[in-house]
Amino acid sequence: MIKVLFVCLGNICRSPMAEAMFRDLLKKENLTNKITVDSAATSSWHIGSPPHKGTLAILNKYNISSGGLVGRQLTKEDFEKFDYIIGMDESNIKNISAITGYPNHPKIIRLLDLTDHNKDVPDPYYTGDFQETYDLVLEGCQAFSPNGTG
């Protein structure tokens, strides 16, 4: 079983969006028995919280289930549990490396490095643009998908 963890700062916008979207892609590709997915935060601000209302609205717009999404913080043990730890921006990558104790490890990936974009996924908590975040996360999830098609 391949285990994938998406990580952002608070685990209420980008990473739960990516978790829900990737689960949806896996379901469509009939891969839920081969790959599991979760999400986490580098901060402790929203532990136990549901996703941001903007994240819930954009997932609902595209008929993607948000069931089971609850904020949690990344732990050092997550490095051993997951095969891939995918951060939404360069700051997340630095924090993931610091928390896990594994800087520059190949299992720690910035999401949009899997695409033709050389940038971070902007945080819609600050930008308010959940559509832009959705579009970029979708592209990254499709690029990471084993079938590469989404």
Known catalytic residue at 13? no
- At residue 148, the pLDDT reads 58
Average pLDDT over residues 125-137: 97
Of 14, 23, 72, 110, which is the active-site residue?
14
CA of residue 38 relative to chain centroid, distance: 8
* Both structure tokens of 99: 């928390």
Is 14 in contact with 133 (CB distance < 8 Å)? yes
Average pLDDT over residues 12-22: 98
> What is this structure's pTM?
0.96
Mean pLDDT, all residues of the chain: 95
What is the C-alpha separation between 146 and 150, in angstroms, rounded?
A: 9
What is the C-alpha separation between 75 and 95, in angstroms, rounded?
A: 11
What CATH class does 2-144 carry?
Answer: alpha beta
What is the C-alpha separation between 141 and 10, in angstroms, rounded?
A: 19
Is 79 in contact with 102 (CB distance < 8 Å)? yes
- At residue 31, the pLDDT reads 94
- At residue 149, the pLDDT reads 46
Of 23, 120, 123, 141, which is the active-site residue?
123
Known catalytic residue at 110? no
Ranges of each domain in the chain: 2-144
pLDDT, tens digit (0-9, with 9 covering 90-100), for 53-71 = 999 999 999 999 999 999 9
Average pLDDT over residues 31-41: 96
- At residue 44, the pLDDT reads 95
Known catalytic residue at 14? yes
pLDDT, tens digit (0-9, with 9 covering 90-100), for 75-111 = 999 999 999 999 999 999 999 999 999 999 999 999 9
Percent of the chain predicted with pLDDT > 90: 95
pLDDT tops 60 at residue 134: yes
pLDDT, tens digit (0-9, with 9 covering 90-100), for 102-118 = 999 999 999 999 999 88
- At residue 118, the pLDDT reads 86
